[in-house]
Structure 1
Amino acid sequence: MFATSIKKIKLPPPSFKGELSVEEAIKKRRSQRSFLDRSLSLSQVSQILWAAQGITEEGGFKRAAPSAGALYPLEIYPVVRNVEELEEGVYHYHPQDHVVSFVLKGNYQDTLAKACLSQSFVAASPLCIVIAAEHERTSIKYGERGIRYVLMEVGHVGGNICLQAVALGLATCPVGAFMDEEVSRVLELPRRHRPLYVLSVGYAS
Protein backbone atom coordinates (compact mmCIF):
# COMPACT_ATOMS: atom_id res chain seq x y z
CA MET A 1 0.00 0.00 0.00
CA PHE A 2 1.40 3.35 -0.99
CA ALA A 3 1.47 6.37 1.25
CA THR A 4 -0.48 8.54 -1.17
CA SER A 5 -3.57 6.30 -0.91
CA ILE A 6 -4.18 7.01 2.78
CA LYS A 7 -3.28 9.73 5.22
CA LYS A 8 -1.65 7.39 7.75
CA ILE A 9 0.16 4.09 7.25
CA LYS A 10 -0.09 1.43 9.94
CA LEU A 11 3.32 -0.07 10.61
CA PRO A 12 3.91 -3.78 11.22
CA PRO A 13 3.99 -4.62 14.93
CA PRO A 14 7.48 -4.48 16.46
CA SER A 15 9.29 -7.54 17.74
CA PHE A 16 10.25 -7.63 21.41
CA LYS A 17 12.89 -10.33 21.04
CA GLY A 18 15.86 -10.36 18.68
CA GLU A 19 18.70 -12.70 17.75
CA LEU A 20 21.52 -10.34 18.77
CA SER A 21 22.32 -9.51 22.38
CA VAL A 22 22.71 -5.93 23.58
CA GLU A 23 26.40 -6.64 24.21
CA GLU A 24 26.94 -7.88 20.65
CA ALA A 25 25.13 -4.87 19.19
CA ILE A 26 27.29 -2.47 21.22
CA LYS A 27 30.45 -4.28 20.08
CA LYS A 28 29.45 -4.26 16.40
CA ARG A 29 28.17 -0.69 16.18
CA ARG A 30 30.20 1.55 13.87
CA SER A 31 29.38 4.75 11.99
CA GLN A 32 29.01 3.78 8.32
CA ARG A 33 29.36 6.29 5.49
CA SER A 34 28.92 3.95 2.56
CA PHE A 35 25.62 2.18 1.88
CA LEU A 36 24.45 -0.42 -0.62
CA ASP A 37 21.73 0.55 -3.07
CA ARG A 38 19.38 -1.91 -1.39
CA SER A 39 15.89 -1.31 -0.09
CA LEU A 40 14.80 -1.65 3.51
CA SER A 41 11.66 -3.53 4.45
CA LEU A 42 8.73 -1.82 6.10
CA SER A 43 9.20 -4.17 9.05
CA GLN A 44 12.77 -2.96 9.53
CA VAL A 45 11.68 0.66 9.49
CA SER A 46 8.86 -0.14 11.90
CA GLN A 47 11.28 -1.78 14.31
CA ILE A 48 13.71 1.16 14.19
CA LEU A 49 10.96 3.71 14.80
CA TRP A 50 9.66 1.66 17.72
CA ALA A 51 13.17 1.52 19.22
CA ALA A 52 13.40 5.29 18.84
CA GLN A 53 10.12 6.38 20.39
CA GLY A 54 7.72 3.45 20.42
CA ILE A 55 5.33 2.69 23.26
CA THR A 56 6.76 0.06 25.62
CA GLU A 57 4.07 0.06 28.31
CA GLU A 58 1.06 -2.17 27.73
CA GLY A 59 -1.99 0.09 27.65
CA GLY A 60 0.10 3.10 28.66
CA PHE A 61 2.21 5.84 27.15
CA LYS A 62 5.80 5.23 28.34
CA ARG A 63 8.27 5.09 25.46
CA ALA A 64 11.48 3.29 24.49
CA ALA A 65 13.78 6.13 25.58
CA PRO A 66 13.78 7.99 28.92
CA SER A 67 12.28 11.47 28.98
CA ALA A 68 12.43 14.03 31.80
CA GLY A 69 9.01 14.15 33.42
CA ALA A 70 7.70 11.80 30.69
CA LEU A 71 7.02 14.94 28.63
CA TYR A 72 8.38 13.53 25.34
CA PRO A 73 9.49 16.64 23.43
CA LEU A 74 10.92 14.77 20.44
CA GLU A 75 9.33 14.28 17.02
CA ILE A 76 10.61 11.69 14.53
CA TYR A 77 10.61 12.39 10.78
CA PRO A 78 11.64 9.45 8.55
CA VAL A 79 12.89 10.62 5.16
CA VAL A 80 12.40 7.71 2.75
CA ARG A 81 14.34 7.06 -0.44
CA ASN A 82 14.19 3.27 -0.82
CA VAL A 83 11.81 1.44 1.52
CA GLU A 84 9.46 -1.32 0.39
CA GLU A 85 5.77 -0.37 0.58
CA LEU A 86 6.50 3.31 1.14
CA GLU A 87 6.80 5.97 -1.52
CA GLU A 88 9.73 8.34 -1.49
CA GLY A 89 9.01 11.23 0.78
CA VAL A 90 8.97 12.70 4.24
CA TYR A 91 6.89 11.07 6.97
CA HIS A 92 6.03 11.80 10.59
CA TYR A 93 6.01 9.02 13.19
CA HIS A 94 3.14 8.83 15.70
CA PRO A 95 4.24 6.55 18.58
CA GLN A 96 0.88 6.12 20.31
CA ASP A 97 -0.68 4.44 17.26
CA HIS A 98 2.59 3.18 15.72
CA VAL A 99 1.79 4.78 12.37
CA VAL A 100 3.50 7.20 10.02
CA SER A 101 1.71 10.04 8.29
CA PHE A 102 2.69 11.26 4.84
CA VAL A 103 4.12 14.79 4.89
CA LEU A 104 5.86 15.39 1.55
CA LYS A 105 6.09 13.32 -1.63
CA GLY A 106 9.37 12.93 -3.52
CA ASN A 107 13.09 12.36 -3.02
CA TYR A 108 14.14 14.82 -0.34
CA GLN A 109 17.40 13.15 0.61
CA ASP A 110 19.41 15.00 -2.03
CA THR A 111 18.35 18.37 -0.64
CA LEU A 112 18.66 17.05 2.91
CA ALA A 113 22.25 16.03 2.12
CA LYS A 114 23.00 19.56 0.96
CA ALA A 115 21.59 20.89 4.22
CA CYS A 116 23.93 18.42 5.96
CA LEU A 117 26.93 20.25 4.47
CA SER A 118 26.81 18.12 1.29
CA GLN A 119 27.66 14.84 3.00
CA SER A 120 26.98 12.44 0.12
CA PHE A 121 26.15 9.37 2.21
CA VAL A 122 23.03 11.15 3.47
CA ALA A 123 21.67 11.15 -0.08
CA ALA A 124 22.81 7.57 -0.76
CA SER A 125 21.20 5.86 2.23
CA PRO A 126 17.73 4.34 1.77
CA LEU A 127 16.45 6.02 4.93
CA CYS A 128 17.28 9.06 7.01
CA ILE A 129 15.73 9.76 10.37
CA VAL A 130 15.48 13.37 11.45
CA ILE A 131 14.86 13.94 15.14
CA ALA A 132 13.34 17.30 16.01
CA ALA A 133 12.35 18.76 19.36
CA GLU A 134 9.63 20.96 20.71
CA HIS A 135 11.69 22.28 23.61
CA GLU A 136 8.77 24.07 25.23
CA ARG A 137 7.15 20.78 26.26
CA THR A 138 10.04 20.26 28.67
CA SER A 139 11.11 23.81 29.50
CA ILE A 140 7.59 24.77 30.61
CA LYS A 141 8.20 22.50 33.60
CA TYR A 142 11.97 22.64 34.04
CA GLY A 143 12.87 26.10 32.74
CA GLU A 144 16.31 26.55 31.17
CA ARG A 145 17.47 23.21 32.50
CA GLY A 146 14.82 21.62 30.32
CA ILE A 147 17.02 22.37 27.29
CA ARG A 148 19.67 20.10 28.78
CA TYR A 149 17.11 17.38 29.36
CA VAL A 150 15.97 17.54 25.74
CA LEU A 151 19.57 17.12 24.53
CA MET A 152 20.03 14.14 26.84
CA GLU A 153 16.88 12.60 25.43
CA VAL A 154 17.88 12.95 21.80
CA GLY A 155 21.12 11.15 22.68
CA HIS A 156 19.17 8.28 24.22
CA VAL A 157 16.99 8.02 21.11
CA GLY A 158 19.96 8.18 18.74
CA GLY A 159 21.66 5.38 20.66
CA ASN A 160 18.54 3.24 20.49
CA ILE A 161 18.34 3.73 16.72
CA CYS A 162 21.99 2.79 16.21
CA LEU A 163 21.80 -0.37 18.32
CA GLN A 164 18.47 -1.49 16.87
CA ALA A 165 19.87 -1.05 13.37
CA VAL A 166 22.85 -3.27 14.22
CA ALA A 167 20.49 -5.91 15.61
CA LEU A 168 18.68 -5.88 12.24
CA GLY A 169 21.91 -6.29 10.26
CA LEU A 170 21.94 -2.62 9.26
CA ALA A 171 24.32 0.27 9.77
CA THR A 172 23.89 3.92 10.68
CA CYS A 173 25.77 7.17 10.60
CA PRO A 174 24.71 9.86 13.07
CA VAL A 175 24.98 13.40 11.68
CA GLY A 176 25.27 16.53 13.78
CA ALA A 177 26.75 18.78 11.10
CA PHE A 178 23.85 20.46 9.35
CA MET A 179 22.24 23.84 8.87
CA ASP A 180 19.24 23.87 11.17
CA GLU A 181 17.16 26.33 9.18
CA GLU A 182 17.85 24.52 5.91
CA VAL A 183 16.78 21.16 7.32
CA SER A 184 13.60 22.76 8.64
CA ARG A 185 12.94 24.42 5.28
CA VAL A 186 13.60 21.30 3.20
CA LEU A 187 11.34 19.11 5.30
CA GLU A 188 8.78 21.86 5.93
CA LEU A 189 8.89 21.22 9.66
CA PRO A 190 6.50 23.12 11.90
CA ARG A 191 8.26 26.14 13.36
CA ARG A 192 8.10 24.71 16.88
CA HIS A 193 9.90 21.50 15.78
CA ARG A 194 13.63 22.24 15.72
CA PRO A 195 15.96 19.63 14.16
CA LEU A 196 18.60 18.24 16.51
CA TYR A 197 19.89 15.04 14.92
CA VAL A 198 20.00 13.24 11.56
CA LEU A 199 20.77 9.54 11.20
CA SER A 200 21.37 7.72 7.91
CA VAL A 201 20.30 4.07 7.91
CA GLY A 202 20.98 1.27 5.45
CA TYR A 203 23.01 -1.80 4.55
CA ALA A 204 26.76 -1.24 4.84
CA SER A 205 28.66 -1.61 1.58
Structure 2
Amino acid sequence: MTSIALPKPEPRGETSVERAIATRASRRSFASTSVSIEDISQLLWAAQGITHVQDGVKMRAAPSAGATYPLVASLEVPSDGCPDLEAGLYRYDPGNHGIEPVLESSIHDELTRAALDQAVVGDAPATIVLAADEERTRQRYPDHGRRYVRMEVGHVAQNVHLVCESRELNCCPVGAFSDAELADVLVLPSSLEPLYLLPFGNRPDER
Protein backbone atom coordinates (compact mmCIF):
# COMPACT_ATOMS: atom_id res chain seq x y z
CA MET A 1 0.00 0.00 0.00
CA THR A 2 1.36 3.40 -0.99
CA SER A 3 1.68 6.22 1.51
CA ILE A 4 -0.46 9.26 0.71
CA ALA A 5 1.13 12.68 1.14
CA LEU A 6 -1.13 15.27 2.74
CA PRO A 7 -1.28 18.96 1.79
CA LYS A 8 1.12 21.14 3.73
CA PRO A 9 -0.58 22.36 6.92
CA GLU A 10 -1.30 26.06 7.21
CA PRO A 11 -0.32 27.33 10.69
CA ARG A 12 -2.07 30.68 10.30
CA GLY A 13 -5.83 30.55 10.59
CA GLU A 14 -8.38 33.31 10.40
CA THR A 15 -9.69 32.73 13.94
CA SER A 16 -7.83 33.69 17.10
CA VAL A 17 -7.17 31.05 19.75
CA GLU A 18 -9.30 33.04 22.18
CA ARG A 19 -12.21 33.14 19.74
CA ALA A 20 -11.97 29.40 19.08
CA ILE A 21 -12.00 28.69 22.82
CA ALA A 22 -14.97 30.99 23.38
CA THR A 23 -17.06 29.37 20.64
CA ARG A 24 -15.94 25.75 21.03
CA ALA A 25 -18.76 23.32 21.66
CA SER A 26 -19.41 19.61 21.21
CA ARG A 27 -21.47 19.61 18.02
CA ARG A 28 -23.09 16.30 17.15
CA SER A 29 -24.67 16.98 13.76
CA PHE A 30 -23.00 17.16 10.36
CA ALA A 31 -23.88 18.31 6.87
CA SER A 32 -24.35 15.55 4.31
CA THR A 33 -21.23 16.73 2.47
CA SER A 34 -17.73 15.32 2.33
CA VAL A 35 -14.78 16.91 4.10
CA SER A 36 -11.77 18.21 2.23
CA ILE A 37 -8.31 16.69 2.24
CA GLU A 38 -7.08 20.10 3.44
CA ASP A 39 -9.29 19.85 6.52
CA ILE A 40 -8.07 16.33 7.20
CA SER A 41 -4.46 17.44 6.80
CA GLN A 42 -4.89 20.34 9.19
CA LEU A 43 -6.60 18.23 11.87
CA LEU A 44 -4.06 15.42 11.79
CA TRP A 45 -1.26 17.98 11.99
CA ALA A 46 -2.97 19.59 15.00
CA ALA A 47 -3.22 16.17 16.61
CA GLN A 48 0.27 14.76 16.09
CA GLY A 49 2.09 16.84 13.50
CA ILE A 50 5.70 17.96 13.78
CA THR A 51 6.02 21.64 14.70
CA HIS A 52 9.75 22.07 15.34
CA VAL A 53 12.98 20.27 16.24
CA GLN A 54 14.50 20.69 19.70
CA ASP A 55 17.80 19.08 20.67
CA GLY A 56 17.45 16.71 17.75
CA VAL A 57 13.93 15.62 18.72
CA LYS A 58 10.99 16.22 16.39
CA MET A 59 8.47 17.93 18.63
CA ARG A 60 4.77 17.52 17.98
CA ALA A 61 1.78 19.84 18.24
CA ALA A 62 0.63 18.62 21.67
CA PRO A 63 2.63 18.29 24.91
CA SER A 64 4.01 14.85 25.73
CA ALA A 65 5.75 13.81 28.94
CA GLY A 66 9.45 13.53 28.16
CA ALA A 67 8.62 13.74 24.44
CA THR A 68 7.78 10.03 24.58
CA TYR A 69 4.86 10.48 22.16
CA PRO A 70 2.88 7.32 22.89
CA LEU A 71 -0.13 8.24 20.75
CA VAL A 72 -1.05 6.95 17.31
CA ALA A 73 -3.72 8.68 15.23
CA SER A 74 -5.89 6.69 12.83
CA LEU A 75 -8.30 8.14 10.29
CA GLU A 76 -11.53 6.42 9.29
CA VAL A 77 -13.23 7.60 6.11
CA PRO A 78 -16.55 6.16 4.92
CA SER A 79 -17.76 6.07 1.34
CA ASP A 80 -18.03 9.65 0.03
CA GLY A 81 -16.38 10.96 3.20
CA CYS A 82 -13.58 12.74 1.34
CA PRO A 83 -13.37 13.16 -2.45
CA ASP A 84 -9.60 12.63 -2.43
CA LEU A 85 -9.55 9.44 -0.34
CA GLU A 86 -10.93 5.95 -0.79
CA ALA A 87 -13.16 4.64 1.97
CA GLY A 88 -11.14 2.80 4.57
CA LEU A 89 -8.73 3.11 7.46
CA TYR A 90 -5.47 5.06 7.53
CA ARG A 91 -2.65 5.67 10.03
CA TYR A 92 -1.08 9.09 10.33
CA ASP A 93 2.68 9.35 9.81
CA PRO A 94 3.83 12.50 11.66
CA GLY A 95 7.37 12.43 10.30
CA ASN A 96 6.25 12.62 6.68
CA HIS A 97 2.87 14.29 7.26
CA GLY A 98 1.14 11.56 5.33
CA ILE A 99 -1.28 8.70 5.87
CA GLU A 100 -0.66 5.00 5.38
CA PRO A 101 -3.61 2.91 4.14
CA VAL A 102 -4.41 0.08 6.56
CA LEU A 103 -7.72 -1.15 5.15
CA GLU A 104 -8.87 -0.20 1.66
CA SER A 105 -12.58 -0.76 2.17
CA SER A 106 -15.17 0.89 4.39
CA ILE A 107 -15.23 -0.02 8.09
CA HIS A 108 -17.81 2.65 8.90
CA ASP A 109 -20.56 0.30 10.04
CA GLU A 110 -18.12 -1.67 12.18
CA LEU A 111 -16.68 1.50 13.73
CA THR A 112 -20.18 2.76 14.53
CA ARG A 113 -21.10 -0.52 16.20
CA ALA A 114 -17.89 -0.46 18.23
CA ALA A 115 -18.88 3.05 19.34
CA LEU A 116 -22.15 1.65 20.71
CA ASP A 117 -24.11 2.75 17.64
CA GLN A 118 -23.83 6.43 18.52
CA ALA A 119 -25.29 8.62 15.77
CA VAL A 120 -22.47 11.15 16.08
CA VAL A 121 -20.06 8.49 14.82
CA GLY A 122 -22.43 6.98 12.29
CA ASP A 123 -23.26 10.36 10.75
CA ALA A 124 -19.69 11.70 10.56
CA PRO A 125 -17.89 11.90 7.20
CA ALA A 126 -14.58 11.19 8.95
CA THR A 127 -13.30 10.19 12.38
CA ILE A 128 -9.87 10.50 13.98
CA VAL A 129 -9.19 7.76 16.53
CA LEU A 130 -6.44 8.15 19.11
CA ALA A 131 -4.73 5.10 20.58
CA ALA A 132 -1.80 4.86 22.97
CA ASP A 133 1.22 2.68 23.55
CA GLU A 134 1.22 3.35 27.28
CA GLU A 135 4.41 1.39 27.85
CA ARG A 136 6.42 3.99 25.90
CA THR A 137 5.72 6.54 28.60
CA ARG A 138 5.66 4.13 31.55
CA GLN A 139 9.21 2.99 30.75
CA ARG A 140 10.41 6.50 31.48
CA TYR A 141 7.86 7.36 34.16
CA PRO A 142 6.89 4.08 35.85
CA ASP A 143 4.93 5.76 38.64
CA HIS A 144 2.95 8.30 36.65
CA GLY A 145 3.19 7.20 33.02
CA ARG A 146 -0.42 6.09 32.82
CA ARG A 147 -1.57 9.49 34.09
CA TYR A 148 0.64 11.34 31.63
CA VAL A 149 -0.76 9.39 28.67
CA ARG A 150 -4.32 10.30 29.66
CA MET A 151 -3.31 13.94 29.95
CA GLU A 152 -1.74 13.82 26.52
CA VAL A 153 -4.78 12.42 24.77
CA GLY A 154 -6.79 15.28 26.25
CA HIS A 155 -4.29 17.82 24.92
CA VAL A 156 -4.52 16.30 21.45
CA ALA A 157 -8.31 16.18 21.46
CA GLN A 158 -8.52 19.84 22.43
CA ASN A 159 -6.10 20.78 19.64
CA VAL A 160 -8.29 19.00 17.11
CA HIS A 161 -11.46 20.49 18.54
CA LEU A 162 -10.11 24.05 18.42
CA VAL A 163 -8.91 23.68 14.83
CA CYS A 164 -12.35 22.33 13.93
CA GLU A 165 -13.84 25.44 15.48
CA SER A 166 -11.48 27.73 13.59
CA ARG A 167 -12.36 25.99 10.30
CA GLU A 168 -16.11 25.97 11.04
CA LEU A 169 -16.24 22.20 11.30
CA ASN A 170 -18.34 20.32 13.83
CA CYS A 171 -16.64 17.89 16.20
CA CYS A 172 -17.69 15.88 19.24
CA PRO A 173 -15.16 13.87 21.26
CA VAL A 174 -16.44 10.37 22.07
CA GLY A 175 -15.13 8.18 24.88
CA ALA A 176 -17.88 5.55 25.02
CA PHE A 177 -17.04 2.44 23.03
CA SER A 178 -16.22 -1.24 23.32
CA ASP A 179 -12.46 -1.31 23.86
CA ALA A 180 -11.90 -4.79 22.45
CA GLU A 181 -14.25 -4.32 19.50
CA LEU A 182 -12.75 -0.96 18.56
CA ALA A 183 -9.20 -2.30 18.77
CA ASP A 184 -10.21 -5.14 16.46
CA VAL A 185 -11.91 -2.82 13.94
CA LEU A 186 -8.83 -0.58 13.86
CA VAL A 187 -6.46 -3.55 13.46
CA LEU A 188 -4.45 -2.31 16.43
CA PRO A 189 -1.50 -4.34 17.73
CA SER A 190 -1.82 -5.51 21.33
CA SER A 191 0.54 -2.72 22.44
CA LEU A 192 -1.99 -0.03 21.45
CA GLU A 193 -5.10 0.85 23.45
CA PRO A 194 -7.87 2.96 21.86
CA LEU A 195 -8.71 5.99 23.99
CA TYR A 196 -10.71 8.59 22.08
CA LEU A 197 -12.77 9.10 18.94
CA LEU A 198 -13.04 12.49 17.27
CA PRO A 199 -15.78 12.41 14.62
CA PHE A 200 -15.90 15.60 12.56
CA GLY A 201 -17.56 17.11 9.53
CA ASN A 202 -18.99 20.18 7.89
CA ARG A 203 -21.65 22.16 9.69
CA PRO A 204 -25.24 21.71 8.56
CA ASP A 205 -27.05 24.70 7.11
CA GLU A 206 -29.03 26.01 10.07
CA ARG A 207 -30.66 28.89 8.24
TM range (shorter): over 0.9
SS at match of 1:151: helix
Give the SS at the match of 1:156.
helix
| Residue of structure 2 in register with 1:84 after alignment | 83
Contact 2:29 2:170 in 1 (8 A): no
> Mind listing any 5+ residue stretches in structure 1 that lack a counterpart?
1-5
Where 2:58 maps in the other structure, the secondary structure is coil
Name 1:3's counterpart in structure 2: none
1:13 and 1:107 mapped to 2: Cα distance?
A: 26
Does 1:16 pair with 2:8? no
Describe how 1:1-205 pairs up with structure 2 within 5 A: 7-57=2-52, 61-81=58-78, 82-205=81-204
Asked if structure 2 preserves the Cα contact closer than 8 Å seen for 1:29 and 1:171, the reply is no
Letter in 2 for 1:66: P
Pick which of 106-115 and 57-66 moved more.
Answer: 57-66
Q: CA deviation at 1:106?
A: 1.9
Tell me the CA shift for residue 60 of structure 1: 5.0
Q: Report the AA paired with residue 173 of structure 1.
A: C
Aligned length: 200
RMSD: 1.2
For 1:29-56, what per-residue CA distance to the aligned partner results, in whole angstroms no more than 9, with x for missing partners?
1111111111111111000000001000
Give the C-alpha shift of residue 117 in structure 1. 1.1
Q: Name stretches of at least 5 consecutive residues in structure 2 with no aligned partner.
A: none
AA aligned to 1:136 is E
More helix by share: 1
Contact 2:129 2:197 in 1 (8 A): yes
What secondary structure is seen at the aligned counterpart in 2 of 1:56?
strand
Q: Distance in 1 between matches of 2:29 and 2:7?
A: 28
Q: Distance in 1 between matches of 2:108 and 2:24?
A: 23
Task: Give 1:122 deviation, angstroms.
Answer: 0.4
Aligned partner of residue 151 in structure 2, secondary structure = helix
Question: What is the TM-score when the length of structure 1 is the normalising length?
Answer: 0.94
**For each residue in 1:56-85, what CA deviation from the matched residue of structure 2 results, as whole angstroms up to 9, or x when unmatched?**
005850000000000000000010120121
Query: 8 Å contact 1:67–1:153 — kept in the other structure?
Result: yes
